[in-house]
Every structure is written in C-alpha cells, then in structure tokens.
Structure 1
Amino acid sequence: MKLHDSLIGLMLIAFGGWVVWQAQGFPAMPGQIIGPSTFPTLLGTLCALGGLLLVWQGRRTSQGEFVWIHEGWRIGSRVGCVAVAVLGTLLLGVTFETVGFPVGGTLLLSALFYAAGLSRPKWIAVAALFVLTVHLVMTRLLYVPLPSGLVKGLF
C-alpha cells in the first residue's frame, strides 16, 4: 500500500502540531532560557515544516490516487500475516503479565512463521531461541524488567 505524499504530510503536520501543543504545558525553569519545552517545540515545528514540504511536493507532482494498494497485498497469506501480527500483538499486550514475554513472544513469533508458510518444527525452535535471547539480553544486560509469566523462576 502506498499513501500519497500529501496524506503523509498532513499526518506529520498534525503530529508536529500536537507535539508543540503538548510541549507548551511543560513547566518553565527559573533563570533558564532553554527549558523542558524547547526541544519538543523545535522538533514538533520541524516535523510540521517537513509535513508542509511533503504536502507541497505531493500537490506539485500529483498523480491522482491518494491510496494505492499493490497487487502483492491482495495475496491471502500476506493479509493473514498482518492479521496475526496485529491481533497477536493485541492479545499479547492484554495477557502480557500473565503469559510473560518468553511464552507469549514464542507463540506470537511461531504463529507469524506459520502464517508465512514456515510450518516445520525447526521454526518453532528458531522462534524460541530468538525470544529467549532477546529476553536474556533485555533482563540481564539492559535490566529491563520483562515479565516471565508462566515460566517464572526459570529465568
């Protein structure tokens, strides 16, 4: 799927405006010219200006369609992969504390492999090894408290 540059530009303008609006509520620092709102305001303004340039470029080189869906996205397996990714991530988000990252991540990645047509048992092992590696790196090296869930006490 391809979005017209003007649509992407409008999204960037809206996002940049929202960032600037939110940054104005940050408290000022006494005696400082540069406060907590300075950099978000600067980045939001730059984002909105970039959006304006995209809208201008899109209008200048307009080719008609605002949304174009490539033929490749009409293949059922690709739509299935997107559905598994979106719905699986939502389900994992709701049950994250109970199920935990190792089990939930392995199930989600295995389901994605299966939806992509990779159904041999080695892909379950690849998913488990990858998720376990990410879990150990995040929890042991970076000290990110990922929940162990069903396998609590093993990691």
Structure 2
Amino acid sequence: MKLHDSAIGAVMVIFGAWIVYSASGFPRLTGQPIGPGTFPVVLGTLCTLGGLVLFVSGLRRGDGTLVTLHPGWQKSDRLATIGLMIGGTALLAASFETVGFPLGGSLLLAALFLASGRRHPAWVLMAVGFVCIVHVLLTRFLQVPLPAGVLKGLF
C-alpha cells in the first residue's frame, strides 16, 4: 500500500502542530533560557515544516490517487498473517503476566514466521533465540521488569 505524499504531509503537519501546541504549555524554568518544552517544540516545528514540504510536493506532482494498494496485499495468506499479527499481539497482551515474554514472544514470532512461509526449523530456533536474547538484555542490563511467566525459574 502506498499513500500519497500530500496525505502523509498533512498528517505530519497536524502531528507537528499538536506537539508544538502541547509542549509550548510546559512550565518555564526560572533563570534558564532552555526549559523542558524547548526540545519538543523544535522537533514539532521541524516535523511541521517537513510535512508542509511533503504536502506541497505531493500536490505539485498531482497523481490524483490517495491510496494505491499493491496487488500482493490482496492475497489471502498475507491477510491471514496480518490477522495473526493483530490477534496474536492482543492475545499476548491479555495473557502477558501469565505466559510471560520469553514464551509468548517466541510463540508469536515463530507463528508469524510460519504464516509468512518460513517453514524451516531454523526460523523457529531463530525466533526463540532472538526473543530470549532481547529478554535477557532488557531485564538484566536495562532493568526492564518483563515477566518470565511460566518460565520463571529459567529467567
């Protein structure tokens, strides 16, 4: 799917303006020229200006179609993969504390690999290894409290 540049630019202008509006209300620090709202206002302004440039260039080109759907996305297996991604993520979010990140994330990633045609066992091992490495890095080094769930004794 391809969105027209003017549509993406309009969204960026709205988003950047919202950031500038929200961050401009942040309290000022006494005696400091730079406060907590300075960085978000600068980024919001850049986002707004970039969106404006993208919007104008999209209008100049004038393709006419706002959304172009690639024929490959109309295949049933790709739609099933998208459904699995959304449903699996919702199911994992609902049972996150019980199942845990290592098991739930590995099952979801392996199911997505299998649904997208990656049927070799190495892909399943890669999914399990990747999720376990991410879990260890986040919990040990960054101190993110991810639940281990049913694998509590191993992690």
Q: Same fold (TM over 0.5)?
A: yes
Q: Distance in 2 between matches of 1:122 and 1:53?
A: 45
Q: How does 1:49-128 map to 2 (within 5 A)?
A: 49-128=49-128
* 1:119 alignment partner, SS class: coil
Matched, 1:15 2:15: yes
* Identity across the alignment (%): 53
Q: Distance in 2 between matches of 1:126 and 1:33?
A: 50
1:25 Cα deviation from its structure 2 partner: 2.6
Partner residue, 1:3:
3
1:120 Cα deviation from its structure 2 partner: 4.4
Aligned residues between the structures: 155
Partner residue, 1:37:
37
Where in structure 1 do 4 or more consecutive aligned residues deviate above 6 Å?
none
Partner residue, 2:24:
24
Q: What TM-score results when the alignment is normalised by the length of structure 2? A: 0.92
1:89-114 residue CA offsets vs partner (Å, 9 max, x unmatched)? 22222222222100110110111012
Q: Distance in 2 between matches of 1:47 and 1:94?
A: 34
* 1:63 alignment partner, SS class: coil
1:45-101 residue CA offsets vs partner (Å, 9 max, x unmatched)? 110111111110000001111000011111222222222222222222222222210
> Which range is displaced more, 59-68 or 117-126?
117-126
Q: Distance in 1 between matches of 2:16 and 2:94?
A: 30
Q: Which runs of 5+ in 2 are unaligned?
A: none
* 1:84 alignment partner, SS class: helix
Partner residue, 2:131:
131
Q: Which runs of 5+ in 1 are unaligned?
A: none
Q: Match of 1:109, as an amino acid?
A: L
> Which range is displaced more, 58-67 or 72-81?
72-81
* 1:73 alignment partner, SS class: helix
1:29 Cα deviation from its structure 2 partner: 0.4
Q: Distance in 2 between matches of 1:94 and 1:26?
A: 35
Q: Match of 2:97, as an amino acid?
A: E
* 2:35 alignment partner, SS class: coil
1:109-144 residue CA offsets vs partner (Å, 9 max, x unmatched)? 111012112334443322212211111122223322
